[in-house]
Structure 1
Amino acid sequence: MKISIVTETFLPSTDGVVTRLRATIDYLIDQGHEIQVIAPDLGVRSYRNIRFDGVQPRTFFLYKHRKFGMPTRLIKKYFEEFGPDLIHVVNPAFMGYSGIKYGKRLGVPLIASYHTHVPKYANYYNQSWSEPLLWWHFRRMHNKADINLCTSQAILEELNEQNFYNMHLWKRGVDTERFNPELHDENMRRKLTNDHPEKRLLLFVGRLAFEKEIDSLIPMLEQNPDAHLAIVGDGPYRTELEKNFAHLDNITFTGFMHGEELAKAYASSDAFMFPSTTETLGLVILEAMASGLPVIAAESGPTNEQVDDGSTGLLYRSGPEGNLSDVIKRLEDDNLLERMSKQAYTHSRDYGWRGPAQQLLDFYESAIEMKQEEEQRAIQ
């Protein structure tokens, strides 16, 4: 099968969408399929000898810290040159609009997947007026696809309520070989704790953006000086975060980590912090569990699907009436911490990437069959 993947984000970017895409592409290639990736050209033009077609990235005025590929007729040219059997548009927003438009115009089976809860970001950036418009925009694009996918049951139900067409759940996964408790490293722990390895080490991994709600962890650190928070990642909000946390000495900013270094950071920590309530999934949750970390997470639909309170982690209420500081104190119980660590690790073993990748391939084949049946009805 020849598969065109149009994605708003790809290498060298680091996020959950890219992680999922790489795992999926690896599987598809290993199964003998031919892949084309159309993405913003950020300098990385090769991955496992796939065909890469770049779109000139530009800055979007409402989010100036990141460059996006804009709608372009060039995508139609790329499709025509490659001749795909199926088109998958990942997270359609800007250039994804062209992927949807020209895929539909060319009559190729079309799948779209929803990964970023952009309409919910409107309130974080004082643009609440735009939320209905954003819902209209994303619904209009997705409803041109033959099959739509999302990554959690809670988001699926919300998108159904927003009248998105033919929604299905694309299961979550994790690299169960890379992330492992056995990678615990004392030197890494010293690095993450500013040479205070005896402290309870809490880890955050992700893009540093305002909507991630990392600031909400400040009161907890103020009230728990024996805890230390390591923030692994980078992004547009990093400078502001460093100012906001500057009065604390139990905080470390590391910037991005990748590969074995990142796996060691997970395995060398005591618990994982997940304060965001706007995620459609949060792949880092499973990466933490696979590393033997219980997850301390703000309650939200997608997060509650992954974290079993008191078993694989602890859930807390966010906001003015939040109870994070009280929840963190429960980590002082070493027996509870050890039990949750073991249960988190055991839980993660069922979520390798092979299952979700094969499930996606099944969706691809279903979309092709649907298109063939549609063509046959048109002939009759």
Structure 2
Amino acid sequence: MKVALVAESFLPHTNGVTHSLLRVLDHLAARGDEAVVIAPEAPGAPESVAGAPIIHVPAVGWPGYKDVRVALSTVRGVARILEDVRPDVVHLASPFMLGWAAVRAAADLGLPTVAIYQTDVPSYAASYRAPWGEPLLWARVRNIHRAADLTLAPSTAAMRQLEDLGVDRLRLWPRGVDTVRFNPAHRDDALRARWSPRGEVVVGYVGRLAPEKRVDDLAVLADLPGVRLVVIGEGPEGPRLRRALPGAEFAGFLGGGELARAVASLDVMVHPGELETFGQSIQEALASGVPVVAPRRGGPIDLIDHGSNGFLYTPGRLDHMAEAVAALVENEDMRLLQGAHARVSVEGRTWPRVCGALTAHYARAIAERAVAP
């Protein structure tokens, strides 16, 4: 089949949306399918990836995120591109701005659309001091996904969220994880010795340093005895968080093998964000044999089996978060057992298997569009 992937964000900006798209492109190339990516223009953006050409549309930078690009393309502009590409199906990756234009353009052209819900953009409004905008943003999300032929949600919580909006034609499609790259075998003793020279238990966070991630919540762990806090990632909150957590090790942005070694070298991971539709960094920590502590909300509910591969705590109850971390810090046998369970819990979630399910969803959308009145 020929697939047009409409990416709300793409290389060189790296995030969960980009990561998923890269795995999908690899899978389509391996199958012998044809793919084209439509994405916002950005300095340093590639012209092709995994054999798929990239068609760039006009875009502007987002305030506070210099690397994030917001597409300005119109419905007519996207329709012209789709008419030239002539795909069998249009994949809408975390659609919002460009995706809204694309779903309407595809409808005008009679092309089937599969929308991937990935980011809880409306709930970010309060974190960015614009709570008044949340109803408008939810209206956009509802309109996009009700217009799509099929919507794929990454977790059961995300499915309920969309169902409450009145979105139908909805299926569960979780994300995959590279269990070779993220593996307990990559634990690095030299790195650990640098992080915890006195043998402290290494408790870490992995992800963007942004308001909605609530990295400030790690402050309740700063005084736990025998703990060394490590923060892996970068973002607009970086300078402020370095001041707020002066005793933590800030490793900055890591990728590739460096990231895999760093994650495997943690003893416990804490993911305090409460707006996760899935939680890819949680899944990568689990694959690395690291138990995870996260709030009982959104994507983590599907990933963390409370008491087996980590702990879930009541959102907002930072005392419960601290108690869960303290239990793992103080009980090495529990920590190691949960780490072993963590690895087993995600071993079947490989990207080839997950992407195989995606292409089956493509085929379903194409078939249903073919028989639609």
TM range, normalised to the smaller chain? over 0.9
Of 287, 296, 305, the residue aligned with 2:302 is 305
Taking the aligned partners of 2:227 and 2:348, their CA distance within structure 1 comes to 31
Distance 1:85 1:328, change over 3 A: same
| Structure 1 residue 71 corresponds to structure 2 residue 73 | yes
* Partner residue in 1 for 2:151: 148
The answer on 1:118 being equivalent to 2:145 is no
Cα distance in 2 between the residues matched to 1:110 and 1:67:
23
Aligned equivalent of 1:261: 258
Residue number in structure 2 paired with 1:273: 270
Seen in structure 2, the aligned counterparts of structure 1 residues 62 and 11 have a Cα distance that, compared at 3 Å, is closer
Letter in 1 for 2:370: Q
| CA deviations over 1:300-354 (Å, ceiling 9, x no partner) | 1321211011110112234256422221210110110111011101112111111
Deviation at 1:291? 0.5
Match of 2:339 in 1: 341
Matched, 1:172 2:175: yes
Instruction: Indicate if the aligned counterparts of 1:208 and 1:235 stay in contact, CA closer than 8 A.
Output: yes
- 174-183 or 94-103: which moved more? 94-103
Instruction: For 1:151, give the aligned amino acid.
Output: P
Q: Is the 8 A contact 1:298 1:317 kept in 2?
A: yes
Closer/same/farther in 2, CA of residues 186 and 61 from structure 1, 3 Å limit: closer
1:89 aligned residue = 92
Q: Do the aligned residues in 1 keep the contact of 2:58 with 2:73 (CA within 8 Å)?
A: no
Query: Are the counterparts in 2 of residues 201 and 228 from structure 1 also a CA contact under 8 Å?
Result: yes
Deviation of the 1:90 alpha carbon = 1.0
Quick check: 1:88–1:110 contact (8 Å CA) kept in 2? yes
In structure 2, give the amino acid aligned to 1:286: Q
Kept in 2, the 8 Å contact 1:15–1:206? The answer is no
| 8 Å Cα contact 1:87/1:109 also seen in 2 | yes
Partner of 1:208: 209
Name the Cα RMSD after superposition. Answer: 1.7
Q: 1:271 to 1:167 in 2, by over 3 A?
A: same
User: What TM-score comes out, normalization by structure 1 length?
Assistant: 0.93
1:241-285 deviations in Å (ceiling 9; x for gaps): 112213xx2x11121111111110011110111111101001111
1:17 aligns with 2:20: no
- Name the structure 1 match of 2:349: 351
Q: CA deviation at 1:366?
A: 0.5
Superposed CA deviations along residues 118-140 of structure 1, whole A, max 9, x for unmatched, are: 11112222222222111111111
Checking the alignment, whether the CA contact within 8 Å between 2:297 and 2:315 is kept in structure 1 is: no
Q: Does 1:138 align with 2:141?
A: yes
1:292 maps to 2:294: no
Residue 119 of structure 1 aligns to a residue whose secondary structure is coil
Residue deviations 1:280-301, cap 9 Å, x none? Answer: 0011111101111001112213
Map of 2:50 onto structure 1: 48
2:103 is aligned to: 100
Alpha-carbon deviations, 1:192-212, whole Å to 9, x = none? Answer: x1x526111112111111000
Residue 110 of structure 1 aligns with an amino acid whose one-letter code is T
Gaps of 5+ in 1: none
CA contact (8 A) 1:90 1:96 kept: yes
SS of the residue 2:219 aligns to = helix
What is the CA–CA distance in structure 2 between the aligned matches of 1:189 and 1:111, rounded to whole Å? 43
Q: Give the Cα separation in 2 of the matches to 1:75 and 1:212.
A: 33
Q: How many residues align?
A: 369
Query: Does the 8 A contact of 1:71 with 1:96 survive in 2?
Result: no
Q: Which amino acid aligns with 1:277?
A: E
Structure 1 residue 67: Cα displacement: 2.5
* Offset, 1:57: 2.5
- Could you tell me how far apart the structure 2 residues matched to 1:168 and 1:244 are? 41
Contact 1:65-1:236 within 8 A present in 2 as well: no
Contact 2:184 2:288 in 1 (8 A): yes
Contact 2:206 2:231 in 1 (8 A): yes
Between the aligned partners of 1:186 and 1:139, the Cα distance in structure 2 is 48
